[in-house]
Amino acid sequence: MRIRRIRIVATAALAAVALTLGACAEDTGGGTDTGDTGNAAGTIKEGLKVTFLPKQVNNPYFDTSDNKGGKPAVEEFKGQYAQTGPSEASPSAQVSYINTLSQQGTDVIIIAANDQDAVCGSLMEAKTAGAKIVTYDSDTKPECRDAFVNQATSEGIAQAQIKLISDAVGPEGGEIAILSATANATNQNAWIELMKTELAKPEYSKLTLVATVYGDDQDEKSFQEAQGLLSKYPNLKGIISPTTVGIAAAARYLSGSSYKGKVQLTGLGTPNQLREYVKDGTVKAFALWNPADLGYLAAYTGAALASGIITGKEGETFTAGKLGEYTVGANGEVLLGDPFEFNASNIDEFNF
């Protein structure tokens, strides 16, 4: 599989951010009462209250997606921006925040779900109270939200990860492991299952997945899990970490160990985060999307829903500011784009 390029907007606001990321239905009930049956003119209402509820606050990935992407978008359509959320990414930690936002009359709640089941009840109540619900980065059940802004297809991400680790390990193959985020993260689990499907293909027959471990999107725990993998599996040839906290921690461990250059590492990361590890040979290549664009698109999707421009039905279109026109897909999904591969030949072209 060739990993295609997506639109990467390296804005001035992104340029100063070195990320350690945590780093991805048709239901027309609920939602803000617009007082009409549609908005043929496609005009976004002014004054919309838009709140981002990430998996955890003070996480550079979500600081970028929300504050560097979502906030400028909300300011463009003259809404009221806010970000709130838990300090730790646990399954039920977001519930109380959803309830509070609902009570406050928030027009649009944009959430990266820590657990697709734990937040569903509260989201349904928020919809009944009049909020439009947009998930981003990590989805919930389709009936619990109005739209899902997907950073890339799960299939595309899984294919990219396996292709990258296969290329890095080489034709001889060997044992590989996955260092994930939390065990309940919807996006991570979807990617992992699809990576297993990808590994079953004949071209990857020499790769053997021996373990999946969880760093809980915590730097130190991810570092320790990477260390533990090498202790338990001394013949390990590669690690895939589809979480940017995890890949950075694993890169730091490998770079300072005797395994540098012997155990390959890939996953999802950012240029500023992994530049030194690409240049010192710890990481040959990795992939990602632009988190600021993800937050920007999520904000415009929520605004389009709250303004009656779209309802979340397949085939509807709307304009997302500088990103242009998007079409709602099946189950209310709005797709940002495809994964982008970063390597030694291009990493210095990007600064985020």
Residue 121 has a CB neighbour count (10 Å cut-off) of: 13
Which residue reads 């034709």 in tokens?
Answer: 171
pLDDT at 36 over 60: no
What rounded mean pLDDT belongs to the chain? 89
Asked if 63 contacts 22 with a C-beta cutoff of 8 angstroms, the reply is: no
What is the distance between the alpha carbons of residues 166 and 264, in angstroms, rounded to a whole number?
A: 9
| Fold agreement (2-151+290-337, 154-288) | yes
pLDDT at 9 over 50: no
pLDDT in tens, 263-281: 999 999 988 899 999 999 9
At 13 the pLDDT is 34
- Per domain, the residue ranges of the chain are 2-151+290-337, 154-288
Buried b (16+ CB within 10 A) or exposed e, 124-146: bebbebebbbbbbbbbbbbebbb
What is the distance between the alpha carbons of residues 125 and 107, in angstroms, rounded to a whole number?
A: 13
* Sign of the Cα pseudo-torsion (264, 157, 112, 14, in order): positive
Helix/strand/coil for 130? coil
Distance (Å) of CA 156 to CA 36, 172, 212, 269:
39, 24, 20, 16
Q: What is the mean pLDDT of residues 56-67?
A: 90
Q: Which residue type is seen at 312?
A: G
What's the CATH number for 2-151+290-337? 3.40.50.2300
Asked if 27 contacts 145 with a C-beta cutoff of 8 angstroms, the reply is: yes
Q: What is the mean pLDDT of residues 289-304?
A: 94
Asked if 101 contacts 131 with a C-beta cutoff of 8 angstroms, the reply is: yes
At 287 the pLDDT is 97
At 289 the pLDDT is 87
pLDDT in tens, 219-251: 999 999 999 999 999 999 999 999 999 999 999
Upper half-sphere CA count for residue 92 (Cβ side, 13 Å): 1
pTM of the predicted model over 0.85: no
Name the β-bridge partners of 208. 175
pLDDT at 8 over 80: no
Confidence category of residue 340, pLDDT binned at 50, 70, 90:
confident
Q: Which CATH superfamily is domain 154-288 in?
A: Response regulator (3.40.50.2300)
pLDDT higher at 130 or 350: 130
pLDDT at 129 over 70: yes
Confidence category of residue 20, pLDDT binned at 50, 70, 90:
very low
Take residue 319 and report the two structure tokens written for it: 């304009």
Q: What is the mean pLDDT of residues 183-200?
A: 95
| Helix count and strand count (H, E) for the chain | 11, 14
Which residue reads 């570092």 in tokens?
Answer: 223
At 2 the pLDDT is 44
Asked if 21 contacts 274 with a C-beta cutoff of 8 angstroms, the reply is: no
Take residue 24 and report the two structure tokens written for it: 């991805």
